[in-house]
A and B are shown apart, each in its own frame.
Chain A
Amino acid sequence: MQNYISQQNFNALLDSLISQGKRVVAPRTNAGTVLYEPLANAADMVIDQLPRRSGKEAFFPLCEDIMTYQKEGQKIELQDIDPTRFLETVLVGVRPCDAAAIPVLDAVFSWDYKDEFFLERRKKTTIIGLACTQADDACFCTAVGLTPADPKGADLFLTPLEGGGYACETQSEKGEALVANNKELFAEPNGYKPLPLAEPQTGKFDLKKVKAWLDEHFEDPAWDSIATRCVGCGACAFVCPACHCFDIVDEGTEKQGKRRKNWDACGFWKFTHHASGHNPRDQQPKRYRNRIMHKFKYYDDKFGQTLCTGCGRCIRLCPVGIDIADILQDIDKIEVKVKVEENS
């Protein structure tokens, strides 16, 4: 169902949700950086920029407690965290590349082990997506099968209109409920013109061809030329809406403490460092290879999906300019060459 909402009414909607005790998470400025964070007022929302980190943290936070322990004499007490206490949340202003990643993550978090933290937050969150009207030459959603107006993952999807306000399209029961409960703020969509959509400036590549090449080239000199310069940080994984590796640590004293789940990154040397001292990924190109393989081969093999939505964050933020879109375009070209050779 399509509706219209003015910017003013949209802010009123968010303020009313906040006053009902809901957690409203939206892009806002924190010490100069735009991040998805809980809002105190709708007026704090910064809707015209892609946040520096992705929307995944509304479900999979950077760091969360998963258990606490206490020890007194011989008595040891373990306490689980109760996910039913998580707040009802509305995640707002989510760009197509961020929203689309969330159903992709559902696959891994509800696979052999059901991650109760992720799934409970997922159940309690309504996602309001937003079409993009601006893109740069790091954006490449259109090359991985999405568009700047793709509602995938959103419960309610907004398209900015000329002269302000949004066209909103409900995408799920959650989205319908949100509109039904706030009917007075929405109007008929008559006579409004959407703003022109963003045009990502990155060339396309064929995901099937990329995967076909990856299937055969776990060992290849290309990995060295791609990633010898990688310095092995966590920037690319941590800003990515689809990366989901985590590490479990126990922190505290001998008397009391917490077990925590923290984001981890395959770029770190420690990621596959065994207790024996052996590291099967002993050099940076092997670590970077995993990043590409996991996104464009392993996740596809296992779940039939691609673990990249083309948001371009890793391209903008890699300290040494490693450009995943460029790599995929190059792989796409290599495969063509192989085929030509075979035919001749």
Chain B
Amino acid sequence: MTQPIDTSIYAAVTAAIQGEAKRILSEGQVTAIVGYAAARRKGSAQPIVISQPDDAQKLIFTPACVNNLAVYLTKAKKEIPKTGKIGIVVKGCDLKALAGLMGESQLKRENLYLIGVPCAGVLGSTIQPDTELTSDSIAPKCTECNERMPPECDFVPAVQVPVNQGLEKKYAAEIARLEALTPQERWAYWKEQFSKCIKCYACRQVCPFCFCEQCLCDRNKPQMVETTPRPAGNFAWHIVRAMHLAGRCAGCAECERVCPMDIPLNLLNRKMAKELKELFEHEAGFEVQEKGPLNSFTDKDDQSFIK
């Protein structure tokens, strides 16, 4: 049954973000703020970078504020100047990406001013942004989220976040369904999904962790994997993506949201996260960790495969 989601706090959240943004820009505490602004289409929102106190009134927070803005702070986004301290509007799920980037020495906490968002959830798709937030239209990640109040930010609007209303955990349910299939059936499922991939790399371009100077899949001297959107090249891309994000992806699910072909990419990320938790007791979260399980070795690691 479709349940409505209460987003009445967003008006107060918007007002508080605007006030804080104006204050820190006028006091010169930050040089710029990355946030969300309303856009032309009804109900839509878009990322915006502001540097003038008067522009603070453009900032909003609504169910259409889906982007993980952390991507703009990475070295892959050369267009956003990284001078001085930068303010950024973050949801709990986005903050985990920032923690990951700090762990990988991509960002320094002291160069950021974190404006945390008390969050009741966002839309799973913004193809039609003028959509009411319900248990059906909410992003699957939000059905499993327990971090609606981002911790250790420089500023968080003082509002009471509604508790997660016991929504069905969409990824857990789907992973359980896929795990129950035979390997042949699972292969068929992913083969069908990947057959739709057009190699637009939107999934990679929005990912805060895809900051490689040159992606392996873009190499052509020599070519490392097939670049063509055909079965072999598509599988290669999706395996590279899943493996390189294992233990790093904290689940903002931007890849899945932006995929124009509706490929459920975050299912792979969640499954990898589940495996890493079982194998290495590792979880990507708010804590800044220097080394993930796939780029470190400890004598506690399972060595039973060495025969």
Q: Which residues of A contact B (CB under 8 A)?
A: 30-33, 35, 52-53, 62-63, 136-138, 224, 228-229, 231-235, 237-239, 247, 249, 251, 260, 262-263, 265, 268, 270, 283-285, 315-317, 319-323, 325-326, 329
B79 within 8 A of A: yes
- The answer to whether B205 and A232 have CB atoms under 8 Å apart is yes
Q: List 15 A-B contacts (CB under 8 A).
A: A52-B261, A62-B198, A137-B41, A228-B79, A229-B46, A231-B205, A234-B200, A249-B220, A251-B223, A319-B206, A319-B257, A319-B258, A320-B206, A323-B40, A323-B46
Segment at the A interface, from B149-157, B188-196, B276-284: B188-196
Q: A235-B258, A251-B228, A320-B47 are in contact. List 9 more A-B contacts (CB 8 A).
A: A30-B196, A33-B261, A137-B42, A137-B130, A233-B205, A249-B223, A251-B227, A270-B218, A329-B40
Query: Which residues on the B side are within 8 Å of A249 (C-beta)?
Result: 220, 223, 227-228
B1-53 at interface with A (beta carbon < 8 Å):
39-42, 44-49
Compute how far the CA of A62 lies from the CA of B77 in the bound complex, rounded to whole angstroms: 28
Compute how far the CA of A323 lies from the CA of B40 in the bound complex, rounded to whole angstroms: 8
Q: How far is the CB of A55 from chain B (nearest CB, A)?
A: 15
- The answer to whether B230 and A231 have CB atoms under 8 Å apart is no
Compute how far the CA of A231 lies from the CA of B47 in the bound complex, rounded to whole angstroms: 11
Query: Which residues on the B side are within 8 Å of A235 (C-beta)?
Result: 200, 202, 258, 260
Count the B residues whose beta carbon is within 8 Å of the partner chain — how many? 47
Provide the B215-242 mask, 1 if CB < 8 A to any CB of A, else 0: 0001010010011111000000000000
- The answer to whether B78 and A325 have CB atoms under 8 Å apart is no
B126 within 8 A of A: yes
B201 within 8 A of A: yes
Kindly identify which residue among B47, B80, B198, B223 contacts A53, using a CB–CB cutoff of 8 Å.
Answer: B198
Query: Which residues on the B side are within 8 Å of A233 (C-beta)?
Result: 200-202, 204-206, 258
Beta-carbon nearest neighbor of B130 in chain A:
A137
Compute how far the CA of A283 lies from the CA of B40 in the bound complex, rounded to whole angstroms: 25
- The answer to whether B198 and A263 have CB atoms under 8 Å apart is yes
- The answer to whether A262 and B47 have CB atoms under 8 Å apart is no
A35-B196 in contact given A232-B205, A326-B39 (Cβ < 8 Å): yes
Residue picked from A231, A232, A239, most chain B C-beta under 10 Å: A231
A234-B229 in contact given A319-B67, A320-B46, A321-B126 (Cβ < 8 Å): no
- The answer to whether A33 and B228 have CB atoms under 8 Å apart is no
B94 within 8 A of A: no
Query: Which residues on the A side are within 8 Å of B258 (C-beta)?
Result: 233, 235, 317, 319
B82 within 8 A of A: no
Beta-carbon nearest neighbor of A237 in chain B:
B200
- The answer to whether A239 and B196 have CB atoms under 8 Å apart is no
B199 within 8 A of A: yes
- The answer to whether B226 and A52 have CB atoms under 8 Å apart is no
Query: Which residues on the B side are within 8 Å of A321 (C-beta)?
Result: 39, 44-47, 126
Query: Which residues on the A side are within 8 Å of B127 (C-beta)?
Result: 316-317
Beta-carbon nearest neighbor of A275 in chain B:
B221
- The answer to whether B200 and A136 have CB atoms under 8 Å apart is no
Query: Which residues on the B side are within 8 Å of A260 (C-beta)?
Result: 228
- The answer to whether B262 and A32 have CB atoms under 8 Å apart is yes
B72 within 8 A of A: yes
Compute how far the CA of A32 lies from the CA of B228 in the bound complex, rounded to whole angstroms: 23
Residue picked from A30, A136, A235, A262, most chain B C-beta under 10 Å: A235
Query: Which residues on the B side are within 8 Å of A239 (C-beta)?
Result: 260
Compute how far the CA of A260 lies from the CA of B232 in the bound complex, rounded to whole angstroms: 14
Kindly identify which residue among B49, B193, B223 contacts A228, using a CB–CB cutoff of 8 Å.
Answer: B49
Query: Which residues on the B side are within 8 Å of A270 (C-beta)?
Result: 218
- The answer to whether A262 and B80 have CB atoms under 8 Å apart is no
- The answer to whether A63 and B196 have CB atoms under 8 Å apart is no
Q: How far is the CB of A243 from chain B (nearest CB, A)?
A: 11
- The answer to whether B128 and A52 have CB atoms under 8 Å apart is no
Compute how far the CA of A235 lies from the CA of B199 in the bound complex, rounded to whole angstroms: 9
> What are the 7 closest A-B residue pairs judged by CB atoms, nearest first?
A321-B46, A234-B200, A319-B258, A233-B202, A231-B205, A233-B205, A326-B40
Beta-carbon nearest neighbor of A203 in chain B:
B40
Beta-carbon nearest neighbor of A261 in chain B:
B228
Compute how far the CA of A267 lies from the CA of B88 in the bound complex, rounded to whole angstroms: 25
Query: Which residues on the B side are within 8 Å of A326 (C-beta)?
Result: 39-40
- The answer to whether B228 and A262 have CB atoms under 8 Å apart is yes
Compute how far the CA of A149 lies from the CA of B240 in the bound complex, rounded to whole angstroms: 45
Beta-carbon nearest neighbor of A284 in chain B:
B79
Q: How far is the CB of A266 from chain B (nearest CB, A)?
A: 13
B246 within 8 A of A: no
B115 within 8 A of A: no
Compute how far the CA of A319 lies from the CA of B201 in the bound complex, rounded to whole angstroms: 11
Query: Which residues on the A side are within 8 Å of B67 (C-beta)?
Result: 319-320
- The answer to whether B230 and A63 have CB atoms under 8 Å apart is yes
Query: Which residues on the B side are within 8 Å of A33 (C-beta)?
Result: 196, 261-262
Compute how far the CA of A331 lies from the CA of B193 in the bound complex, rounded to whole angstroms: 40
Query: Which residues on the A side are within 8 Å of B204 (C-beta)?
Result: 233
Compute how far the CA of A234 lies from the CA of B80 in the bound complex, rounded to whole angstroms: 20
A262-B229 in contact given A228-B80, A251-B223 (Cβ < 8 Å): yes
